[in-house]
Amino acid sequence: MDLTAETVRGIAKLARLRPNPEEEQRLIQDLSAILEFFAQLSEAEVDGIEPMAHPLEVDQRMREDEVTEPDRREDYQEIAPDAREGLYRVPAVLDSD
């Protein structure tokens, strides 16, 4: 199955990626080949088989609702590209007017 440029652009938007036109062509080719490789999965006889979540069928573990971590906000924000006064800075989200 061959993907269209429009589909590839749609996936890129969902994935927050922005391929240039040359890469877009490459992706159409590569992703189509990979999907063709995936197509053999439809041959599997899976009637009544539950999709597997965890190899050991372990349930999600619960824990006591207690604070276990110290407040290390400054350590965590020190590695941010742009943080000030405890806040992460990004371009304006709302229009100024």
Binding region for another protein (CB under 8 A):
7-8, 11-12, 14-19, 27, 30-31, 33-35, 37-38, 40-44, 46, 49-56, 58, 60-61, 63, 72, 75-76, 78-82, 88, 90-93
For the chain, give me the number of helices (H) and strands (E)?
Answer: 3, 2
Rounded-to-integer distance, Cα 51 and Cα 48, Å: 10
Residue at token pair 């006889």: 45
When the beta carbons of 6 and 82 are compared against another protein, the nearer one is 82
Give whichever of 5 and 33 is closer to another protein, judged by the CB atom.
33
